[in-house]
Structure 1
Amino acid sequence: MARDDFRLLHRERVRWGEADMQGVVFNAHYLTYIDVGVTEYFRALSEAAGGGGEGLDGNLPVGGGDFFLARTELDYHAPAEFDDMLEIGMRIKRFGRTSVEWVGEIHRGGDHLMTARMVYVHADVETKSSKPLPDAFKQLVAAFERVPPEGA
């Protein structure tokens, strides 16, 4: 995937506490970076929809639902190190009936460090049971993304 495919590129610096004794980022912190990317994606999507960037708590048309992580895959290509400036790219690749497939990448300059694939299920806030994605949400995401998601 090309970096230009990502509308959202969030910059994040590696902090001291995220690196091990060799100065390399401990693997579990990549999940935190990707989670920050998802949060920043929803903030940018909310702003694009004319809101104040409140994310899911703002003006996004999620139909009384929320998203729950169901699956994550991480592929490590090269290590990040203490004080590196990272770019976290996030995009929604595909819509299912009740799910959203995300792709995330972490870069340092021209180096592609990590790729993440995640599936989030859209569910009723009260019952936590899956429910179909609202068409308004899919349309908003499709208009926001540089590469339209499959199933849009």
Structure 2
Amino acid sequence: MAKADFAFFHTLRVRWAEVDMQAIVFNGHYLTYFDVGFTEYWRATGLPTVVEQAGSGQELFARKATIEYHDSARFDDMLDIGVRCAGFGRSSMRLVLEIYRGEQHLISGELFYVYADVKARKGVPVPEHWRAVISAFEKCPPSAL
């Protein structure tokens, strides 16, 4: 995707504890960056927080994560994490994420979440209200997601 295709970015600075002996960000930290980006994306939509979801007995569970490395981030780099909802299934949502240092595209990835009943551990439909809010946030018709 192009950087301009993202409606949401979260910026963070690479900390010393996140780099390895090669002086680059250790690969596993990119999943943490994705999680931080998704958390801030969700907060920006105004949809129910994880605490509110837990209280309802239904919440999002991570199902799958992929990462593709194009280049490395280094200590003290300022990174922009782009997050975009790329689609919904009946009980799932797919997010596309990219990490940039300035205009340089470093990392691509996807996160798949399933909305499920906590006790039954079984998928339930993503609420229509959530779909509408995210569609408006992404500035696209619900049918496009």
Please report the TM-score for the alignment, with normalisation by the length of structure 1.
0.86
Who is 1:14 aligned against? 14
TM-superposed CA distance for 1:125, in Å, is: 2.7
Long gaps (5+) in structure 1: none
- Letter matched to residue 23 of structure 1: A
Query: Paired residue for 1:75?
Result: 68
CA offset at residue 2 of structure 1? 1.6
Which whole-Å CA distance do the structure 1 matches of 2:142 and 2:96 have between them? 11
Deviation at residue 7 of structure 1 after TM alignment: 1.6
The equivalent residue for 2:107 is: 114
Code of the aligned partner of 2:44: A
Corresponding residue pairs, total: 143
The residue that corresponds to 1:28 in the other structure is 28
Q: Which residue number corresponds to residue 55 of structure 1?
A: 49
Cα distance, 1:147–1:16 mapped onto 2, change above 3 Å:
farther
What are structure 2's unaligned runs of at least 5 residues?
none
In terms of fraction of residues, the more helix-rich structure is: 2
Q: Aligned partners of 1:88, 1:126: CA distance in 2, in Å?
A: 33
Whether 2:91 is the aligned partner of 1:98: answer yes
Contact 1:98–1:133 at 8 Å: present in 2 too? yes
Q: Shift in Å at residue 146 of structure 1?
A: 3.6
